[in-house]
């Protein structure tokens, strides 16, 4: 993997996974967009906890405060030709100005059968959105991977308060990148993206500024790559047609 002027804090022995504990704004200027197959990331959401019916005394809110509710500026990644961003409904309109006339876009939904029952005068928080913007020729994956929606349960208290399940991230990596390409995650959290990339034969640059979460990511990635290739066979694809087939 050609890292250019970027110097990671940790590089896997085979040179395919690079981790950095840094503010992504300090790192992105060191990375050549032409070297990146896809940016796939779960940045801070822009939410209003009171309006959504959240109870401010809950441990969950204490965990997410400061990085989940601070919002995200799409312009920091808009110069990359292919990017995929997890976001809330409120953030979707802000994505369109960064698509450009020569690129395609799609809104993918992640639908959770087990949403947190925290509502007042609104809908259940059972859907998250993934805004995908790509240049011509940069949409990958097989037929089943290109479903516009994902159905998979939410998970909590594993590695990170906002951790994305591996099957959800697997779909994103397969659609957004090809084998051997470099995936960039500037908000890497606990490292689900580099773990999935290592298993699917992609390279990955993962950036996380929080030292606690970076330590978790480093330990997790080291553990995964030290074992035989991660086996996804025990986990179903996160697409509804497979789940429906099981009930027929």
| Domain boundaries, given as residue ranges, for the chain | 37-180+223-247
Query: What value does the mean pLDDT of the chain take?
Result: 83
pLDDT tens-digit readout, 88-128: 899 999 999 999 889 999 999 999 998 877 667 788 889 99
DSSP assignment, residue 146? G
Q: What's the confidence (pLDDT) of residue 226?
A: 81
| Burial class for 87, CB neighbours closer than 10 Å (0-12, 13-18, 19+) | buried
The more confident residue out of 137 and 156 is: 137
Q: Distances from the Cα of 221 to the Cαs of 13, 67, 83, 86, 170, in angstroms?
A: 12, 22, 23, 22, 15
Q: How far apart are CA 37 and CA 230, in angstroms?
A: 22
Which of 113, 131, 124, 154 shows the shortest CA–CA distance to 240?
113
Kindly tell me if the per-residue pLDDT of 54 is higher than 50.
no
Question: Given pLDDT bands bounded at 50, 70 and 90, which one contains residue 181?
Answer: very high
Topology (CATH level 3) of domain 37-180+223-247: Rossmann fold (3.40.50)
Tokens of 106: 């799609």
Between CA 98 and CA 96 the distance in angstroms is: 5
pLDDT of residue 138: 94
- Asked if pLDDT for residue 61 goes beyond 60, the answer is no
pLDDT for the residue 125: 85
Closest CA to 2 of 170, 175, 177, 184: 184
pLDDT, mean of residues 34-58:
67
* This prediction's pTM: 0.83
* Bridge partners of residue 205, in order along the sequence: 18, 184
Bridge partners of 110? 128, 150
Label residues 48-86 b or e (16+ Cβ within 10 Å = b): ebeebebeeeeebbeebeebbeeebebebbbebbbbbbb
Residues facing residue 40 across a β-bridge: 84
pLDDT > 70 fraction of the chain, expressed in percent and rounded:
79
**pLDDT on residue 161:** 65
Give residue 229's pLDDT: 61
């Amino acid at each position: 993997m050609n890292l250019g002027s970027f110097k990671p804090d940790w590089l896997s022995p085979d040179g395919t996974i690079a981790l950095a504990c840094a503010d992504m704004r300090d790192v992105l200027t060191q990375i050549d967009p032409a070297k990146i197959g896809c940016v796939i990331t779960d940045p801070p959401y822009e939410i209003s906890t009171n309006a959504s019916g959240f109870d401010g005394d809950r441990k969950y809110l204490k965990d997410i405060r400061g990085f989940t509710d601070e919002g995200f500026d799409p312009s920091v990644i808009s110069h990359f030709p292919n990017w995929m961003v997890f976001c809330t409904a409120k953030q979707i309109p802000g994505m369109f100005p960064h698509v450009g006339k020569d690129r395609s876009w799609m809104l993918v939904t992640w639908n959770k059968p087990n949403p947190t029952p925290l509502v007042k005068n609104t809908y259940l928080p059972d859907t998250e959105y993934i805004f995908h913007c790509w240049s011509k020729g940069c949409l990958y994956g097989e037929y089943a991977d290109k479903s516009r929606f994902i159905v998979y349960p939410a998970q909590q208290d594993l590695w990170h308060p906002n951790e994305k399940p591996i099957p959800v991230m697997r779909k994103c990596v397969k659609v957004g990148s090809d084998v051997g390409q470099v995936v960039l995650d500037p908000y890497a959290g606990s490292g689900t993206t580099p773990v999935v990339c290592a298993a699917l034969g992609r390279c990955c640059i993962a950036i996380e500024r929080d030292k606690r979460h970076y330590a978790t990511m480093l330990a997790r990635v080291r553990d995964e790559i030290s074992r035989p290739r991660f086996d996804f066979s025990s986990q179903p694809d996160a697409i509804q047609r497979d789940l429906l087939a099981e009930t027929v």
